[in-house]
Amino acid sequence: MTHYICTGTCGGVAEKPGTCQSQECPKHGEPLDVCECADGKHEGVMSVAEGESEDEE
């Protein structure tokens, strides 16, 4: 089932599109990312977000 998650540190999850509501989160106020995982781990979305800082060559 589609849900929306924050890829910051708050671990926020919502059933509808929106923005991060945690003021202590680095992504506060930023749009939530769509996730369609079934196990609640959000691995697909999280791995994409972390991939940006991965720069091995």
8 vs 14, which CB is nearer to Zn ion? 8
Q: What is the DSSP string of 1-57?
A: --EEE--SSS--EESS--BB--TTSTTBTSBPEEE--SSS--HHHHHHHHHTT----
14 vs 37, which CB is nearer to Zn ion? 37
16 vs 56, which CB is nearer to Zn ion? 16
Q: Which residue do the tokens 């940006």 mark?
A: 52
Smallest gap, in angstroms, from Cβ of residue 48 to Zn ion?
12
* Binding site residues, Zn ion, CB under 5 A: 6, 8, 10, 12, 20, 22, 25, 27, 35, 37, 42
